[in-house]
A and B are shown apart, each in its own frame.
Chain A
């Protein structure tokens, strides 16, 4: 039986104190590792006979502007389809050099998901075969999901803030 405890044990055996931050929410475990190790950890989770995390169900980023030096988190959602166990794996990077190794060699599905993550958060996936915008217009010159950019369209000229319940006298 593959349990969160046994997964944690296996990971600590292999990577020692490099893997940290084990937490569990709603039965799903998450942990983090230094960003240089991301491919090694993913490969280990993939290859190990018992772990068999061979399906990348999702990949995205989160922006934490308050955590200086580790503003961007890249999150991998992994699924073991044999035992039906899921896992969340995070690596953190600073926002000045958001370089993270690309997982495309291991999971082909990472291709578009990494492009999306680049599109919205500007994470630079080193080794990605075609890292360009996928959902937004090509001319866009910023990464809209980073917290410093307001959600509202900044190019609007005809909208009165007061009519939209923000700014003005509110």
Chain B
């Protein structure tokens, strides 16, 4: 079967090269919409990831960051290595129980709104390391927003997970982080 050619035919198919903006009222030279949507849009396209790479999955992340897969296309050019600057903690790799307090500490150092992505089977559930020394999923110590399955996940999968984070950021209500539900979640992890 011939592969459908879908580029450079903007207007003729359902493929849109330029995404539509949010709902709002547009006129000559101005556009109005709700603050939520503007903030969501801004945040969504400048997520600074904090790589927390402890083992093999980290290598896949390096590929994801490099030119071939290029995570920068999604507004994440800037990978930060100080948790205080970053929005998204990407935990990639096996987390030993001795490492768990460190993961937590790094999470606590991040400013709100902060998000966590568990990349790979190890970070999500302990993976193949079902043993006394390995944490059985980082969600035992910190709340996780997106899980990416795979051992290791391909860069495409990591990007897919990243786009899901973008979706969450885009649609988050500005009040979510002050809501009781969110506070309960934090309290469940013993985080103030």
Contact = CB atoms under 8 A, between A and B. Distances in A.
A151 B130 CA distance: 8
Interface string B111-154: 00000000000000110001111101100000000000000000
A153 B134 contact: yes
A82 to B, nearest CB: 39
Contact of B131 (A135, A151, A158): A151
A19 to B, nearest CB: 36
A151 B131 CA distance: 5
B97 interface: yes
A159 B133 contact: no
A153 B98 contact: no
A153 B125 contact: no
B163 to A, nearest CB: 26
How extensive is the interface on chain B, given as a class?
Answer: 10 to 19
Question: What's the dominant secondary structure at chain B's contact region?
Answer: loop
Given A156-B126, A159-B125, A137 B98 contact: yes
B70 to A, nearest CB: 34
A118 to B, nearest CB: 16
A22 interface: no
Contacts of A155: 136
A157 B133 CA distance: 16
Question: What's the dominant secondary structure at chain A's contact region?
Answer: loop
A152 B97 CA distance: 14
Interface residues of A, number: 16
B130 A137 contact: no
Contacts, number: 38
Interface string A137-156: 10010001000010111111
A170 interface: no
Contacts of A153: 126, 130-132, 134, 136
Contact of B130 (A135, A140, A144, A156): A156
Contacts of B133: 135-136, 144
Contacts of A158: 125, 136-137
B45 to A, nearest CB: 34
A164 interface: yes
A157 B137 CA distance: 11
A152 B130 contact: yes
Contact of A151 (B98, B125, B132, B137): B132
A25 B97 CA distance: 38
B94 to A, nearest CB: 13
Nearest to B97: A137
Given A153-B136, A155-B136, A156-B126, A136 B131 contact: no
Interface string B83-115: 000000000000001100000000000000000
Given A153-B136, A159-B125, A136 B130 contact: no
Contacts of B125: 158-159
A137 B135 CA distance: 11
A152 B131 contact: yes
A161 to B, nearest CB: 10
Interface of B: 97-98, 125-126, 130-134, 136-137
Would you list the 9 A-B pairs with minimal beta carbon distance, nearest first?
A144-B132, A156-B136, A152-B130, A137-B97, A137-B98, A153-B136, A151-B131, A153-B132, A153-B130
